[in-house]
Amino acid sequence: MKLLEGKTALVTGAARGIGKAIALKFAAEGASVAFTDLVIDENGLATEKELEALGVKAKGYASNAADFEDAHKVVEEVNRTFGRIDILVNNAGITRDGLMLRMSEQQWDTVINVNLKSAFNLIHAITPVMMKQKGGSIINMASVVGLSGNAGQANYSASKAGMIGLAKSVAREMGSRGIRANAIAPGFIITDMTAALSEEVRQEWAKQIPLRRGGTPEDVANVALFLASDLSSYVTGQVIPVCGGMNM
């Protein structure tokens, strides 16, 4: 039997990158998958087809996770269409980097809203569903900079540190209801976002990593699979770095 057979997952920001890798990993292990992105364009439609090709029910939803009402609406639609939601992955995220002295209020607010408020919105909406089911797994996508901070990323680091605190608080509140909440803290992962960096910057990053390489979206997806499955049934309120040893 596959690890997620009979379960339904909702993954935000999953039309590409780490979110897509997680969605595909879940589908390969038997989960039905609903995923969101701001718009379901060619990438989103392609992701939906790739998921369906794995023999599971899948659907992409155009949704703004940072909008409270939109988040509640998509949870209602997914629950109605799929009949249940066992796994939530709060993966939606952006960067708007800048030094503190030059960072605008808009840069701060945008990152906090998309990265952190979105997680609150989805958890707030999905909690009644999981309570009724008497169980569920919530996974927040944090970052190693949420643990260590990073110059030029005060907004991003704060949002990811918030994701960790949010997961721990939900774990304490909802553990008695069978609902687990954990966070994953990726390090330097090779995605479209990091591919835009210069080769010099990427090499400097690699020097800080004991394994001397960047990670892949699949590396993160493997940990997400563990946290989503019953293999981690006694794991909650934890942060798992996926960083090649960069954060020790």
User: Any idea which residues carry the catalytic annotation?
Assistant: 156
Q: How far apart are CA 142 and CA 149, in angstroms?
A: 12
Q: State whether residue 35 is helix, strand or coil.
A: strand
Nearest CA among 26, 14, 50, 93 for reference residue 228: 26
Q: How far apart are CA 48 and CA 51, in angstroms?
A: 5
Cβ atoms of residues 157 and 142 within 8 Å: no
* Encoded amino acid at 54, one letter: L
Half-sphere exposure (CA, 13 Å, Cβ side) for 89? 33
* Encoded amino acid at 129, one letter: V
